[in-house]
Amino acid sequence: MSTVLRGRAYVVRDNIDTDQIIPAQYLALVPTIPDEYEKLGSYALCGLPKDQYPTRYVADGTAKTAFPIVIAGRNFGCGSSREHAPIALGATGCTAVVAEGFARIFFRNCVATGELYPVECDQRLCDVFQTGDEVELDLDAGTLQQVKTGKVFATKPLGDARPVIDAGGIFEYARATGMIKK
């Protein structure tokens, strides 16, 4: 598995809660039903206020985002325990969220589902990066690079969560390590 994730960044600020990631009216979609999984992806981050975020995370009429890496401020994923949130992001092609901090349940759901890497960074990257910036996230080295300036920022290690996400979630991890039967 590649440990360097590349692509364009989508930048959001503090307190992006689960209602902004996937608004409540779409929660009747069941993530384990494949068609509904795809549909959830098409709504990812559609709850962001349009005046503050004129570029939509997933363009109208499409299912996949052009921005595989999300950069955020504090408390990303706060609010409800809905796993639809990391799943909607993962379904649309998001591979990582790099934030100053995560709400606990969102972080845990990212790990449990293996949908994406929730990476923490002490610096306030949402003030440095702009939506559309080309970035390189190196999970082994623990760095995030802004390609246009060459600036490199240190990210915090994922620790024990990393191998679980690498495996594709807790069930895959538990099978791979012999914790539960294959």
Q: Which residues bind another protein (CB under 8 A)?
A: 15, 17, 19-20, 23-25, 27-33, 47, 49-50, 74-75, 78-84, 86, 101-105, 108-109, 112-113, 160, 169-171, 180
With respect to another protein, which residue has the nearer C-beta, 50 or 150? 50
Q: How far is the CB of 26 from another protein (least distance, A)?
A: 9
Q: Three-state DSSP class for 122?
A: coil
Among 130, 133, 132, 111, CA closest to 120: 111
Quote the CA–CA distance of 169 and 102 in Å, as a whole number: 18
Looking at the Cβ atoms of 20 and 155, the one nearer to another protein is 20
Identify the residue whose tokens are 């970035």: 135
CB atoms closer than 10 angstroms to residue 167: 17
Residue-wise burial string across 9-48, b where 16 or more C-beta atoms lie within 10 A, e elsewhere: bbbbbeebbbbbbbbeebbebebeeeebbebbbbbbbbbb
Least distance in Å: CB of 91 to another protein?
13
| Least CB distance to another protein at residue 180 (A) | 8
**Shortest Cβ 51–another protein spacing (Å):** 8
Closer residue to another protein in complex, CB, 63/171: 171
Nearer to another protein, 148 or 156 (CB): 156
